[in-house]
Every structure is written in structure tokens, then in C-alpha cells.
């Protein structure tokens, strides 16, 4: 029997990228993996992240932002950082580390319409990266 993977998505605020990644992974992988997300400076979940996830039928409105300090290192075997490497939080532990550099849609100074497009783009990039990761790990794509 294959051991269930334990994934942690990590970014700075745990308000957009890592929350969307957690929602996508939970939705598409189901019980195949255990998923958490956290940040070094957690803040409120961005309403635009909730909105763009709702657009594809995934509700993350009940998620809460968590500090990386709340995560037990033994509960994680893969850490995926979703931010600029120089500002990514550090996670202590023996977990495999992957880095998916993605623009932070929450820091954009664009109009609300353009910012919404950026959130959608980041959501879709995360989904593509999850598909690629699934092929690397399981040798198949089912997302």
C-alpha cells in the first residue's frame, strides 16, 4: 500500500496562493493526500481568492490563515512554496521541498477587474502545477 502524501503549501500571508492551492489539492486529490497551508505572516483570506475558487465550484470560505509555527514538522513530507524565493518562509523539518514561484495576486495595484483576472490566472497556474506534480509522483494525471 502506498503511503498517503502529506503536503504543506507555504507562502507569506497564507491569504491567497497557498489557500487556493490547498483548496485545489483537497478537491482534486481527495483522500489520496493530506493537505495543509500556512504562512510566515498569516492574514485574513483574500475575498478574491474565495471568489475565484467559487467560480470553479470549490468553497474555501471556511479556511483560516495559519502560521507556519502551528504546523507539526512530522505532519509534512512535502513542502511547496508559492512565493518569491527570497521572501518564502522557512519550514524546519526533513520534508522534500518544491518551489513554485507565483506572482502574489493580492499585492497587485491593478483595478479590481484586472486583479480578479490575476487571481484567476494564479489559480489556473496552480492547477497546472498540481497536474504536473501528480504525473511526477503517480505517473498519471487525473485532475
Catalytically active residues, by annotation: 11, 83, 88
How does strand 78-81 pair with strand 33-39?
A: unpaired
All three cell numbers of 79, joined, read 513542502
3-state secondary structure 60-125: CCCCCCCEHHHCCHHHCCEEEECCCHHHCCCCCCCCEEEECCCCCHHHCCCCHHHHHHHHHHHHHH
- Tell me which residue has cell 478574491: 48
Give how far Cα 1 sits from Cα of 4, 32, 46, Å. Answer: 9, 12, 38
Amino acid at each position: 500500500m502506498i503511503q498517503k502524501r502529506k503536503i504543506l503549501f507555504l507562502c507569506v500571508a497564507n491569504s491567497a496562493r497557498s489557500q487556493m492551492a490547498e483548496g485545489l489539492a483537497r478537491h482534486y486529490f481527495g483522500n489520496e493526500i493530506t493537505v495543509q497551508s500556512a504562512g510566515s505572516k498569516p492574514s485574513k483570506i483574500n475575498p478574491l481568492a474565495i471568489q475565484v475558487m467559487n467560480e470553479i465550484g470549490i468553497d474555501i470560505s471556511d479556511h483560516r490563515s495559519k502560521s507556519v509555527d502551528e504546523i507539526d514538522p512530522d505532519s509534512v513530507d512535502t513542502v511547496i512554496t508559492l512565493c518569491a524565493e527570497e521572501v518564502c518562509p522557512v519550514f524546519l523539518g526533513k520534508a522534500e521541498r518544491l518551489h513554485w514561484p507565483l506572482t502574489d495576486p493580492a499585492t497587485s495595484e491593478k483595478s479590481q477587474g484586472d486583479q480578479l483576472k490575476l487571481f484567476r490566472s494564479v489559480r489556473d497556474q496552480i492547477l497546472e502545477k498540481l497536474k504536473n506534480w501528480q504525473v511526477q509522483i503517480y505517473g498519471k494525471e487525473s485532475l
